Amino acid sequence: MLLFNTAPADVFYKKQKTCPHCHSEHYSLSNHSKVLRFTILPIMPLSINYQRQCDDCGYVTPAPWYSLPALELASFIKYFIGLFIIVYLLVKALIGANEQTENEQTYLNEPKLFDTYFVYSDKFTGKPKRINNLKVAQLVELDDKNMTFRVANYTYKYNKDIEIAMRTSMLVQDDYFSSKTLTFSKSQIQQLYDEGSIYKIMRPELYSLFGGFVMHPPRPKPLYTGVKLDKHNQEGITYFKDGLYEEALKSFTLSAEDGYSWGQLNLGQMYRDGQGTNVNNEKAAYWLNKATLQGNPKAKVELAELCLSYDCSKLNTQ
């Protein structure tokens, strides 16, 4: 079956008149125009040919287009549907190409990490030209003067092969990019683009291009990171369990002075209980209050109990 073909057109408006030859009422308009079609879609008329024909006596007379009924003239637009579609697609393609060029110049002037460059391997990397000469380069570092790229280990013969690789998320595979990087000045990149060595630049949206990932999404922050342990406080706990109270006091003091609330709590308890030192409720209240101000729940309880037997009115609770 031919995609392009010609076919007779049909008449849209069939108002019968009286035949001038036999006066029959079966005298109507018929359309013998030829229309170029793509399968069944009309593209444009090749000829306009209308006739009035009598079904009884066979009398035929030409019907000029300007004598056609208004509704039939209005139906001429149907012959150009395919042409309108072709023009629309061409205009859309031209506008899209122009927008792509404008976007690429913006990407060059205002680069961002993971901008993805489609390049000719021999001109971009300086290696000998091969049959498969297309590569992907991705921007991984930049400053005011220079741009650093990682380059794919794979080469391609056709641009569609690169698109397939992106669509299937090949770019996030561990061995897709070389560990070696290439650094260019911004003026060198502009020159490579102007020369056509860089023939396309795209910026990922939602970490993807053509529906596939081309970069790893950032790892989300954990909802709970656990309790942050302090080195000196942990040492003090170990000394305390071994009965080495003086060493524990020194370690808790270092932790408390570093601002760790649990170290402050432990130091306050040792001053209150006289472990590794003499009982000193003033220092005990001071350090328990420090821990309480940081929101330590246990220190708040311990301080409240201490204040039942010790005057805590001088503490700075703000």
Show me where the domains of the chain are located.
4-83, 111-213, 231-306
Contact 96, 103 (CB under 8 A): no
Sign of CA dihedral 96, 100, 106, 110: positive
Helix (H) or strand (E) holding 270, with range, is helix 261-273
Give which of 316, 228, 276 is closest to 266, Cα–Cα. Answer: 276
Q: pLDDT per position in the chain (318 positions), as tens?
A: 445 555 555 555 556 678 888 888 878 888 888 888 888 888 888 888 888 888 888 888 888 878 888 887 887 888 888 888 989 999 998 888 888 889 899 999 999 999 999 999 999 999 999 899 999 999 999 999 999 999 999 999 999 999 999 999 999 999 999 999 999 999 999 999 999 999 999 999 999 999 999 998 887 776 666 667 889 999 999 999 999 999 999 999 999 999 999 999 999 999 999 999 999 999 999 999 999 999 999 999 998 898 888 888 888 876
pTM above 0.75, yes or no: no
Task: Please report the pLDDT score of residue 254 as a whole number.
Answer: 94
Q: Are 117 and 78 in contact (CB under 8 A)?
A: no
Calpha distance 259→277 (Å, rounded): 21
Is residue 56 within 8 A of residue 19, CB to CB? The reply is yes
Cα–Cα dist 53/11, whole Å: 13
Q: Which is nearest to 201 in space by CA: 264, 107, 283? A: 107
CATH, domain range 4-83: 2.20.25
The per-residue b/e assignment along 70-89, b for 16 or more CB within 10 angstroms, e otherwise, is eebeebeeebbebeeeeeee
196 HSE (CA, 13 A, CB side): 0
Query: Whose CA is closest to 311, among 280, 272, 274, 282?
Result: 282
Identify the CATH number of the domain defined by range 231-306: 1.25.40
What was the pLDDT predicted at 161? Answer: 96
Using DSSP's 3-state secondary structure scheme, residue 16 falls into coil
Q: Which helix (H) or strand (E) holds 108?
A: helix 81-109
Which of 111-133 are b and which e, b meaning 16 or more Cβ less than 10 Å from the residue's Cβ? Answer: beebbbbbbbbebbbeeeeeeeb
Pair of tokens at residue 76: 């001429």
Output the CA angle 199-205-210, nearest 5 degrees. Answer: 60
By the 8 A CB rule, do 293 and 268 touch? Answer: no
The DSSP bridge partners found for residue 44 are 36
For residue 1, what pLDDT is reported? 40
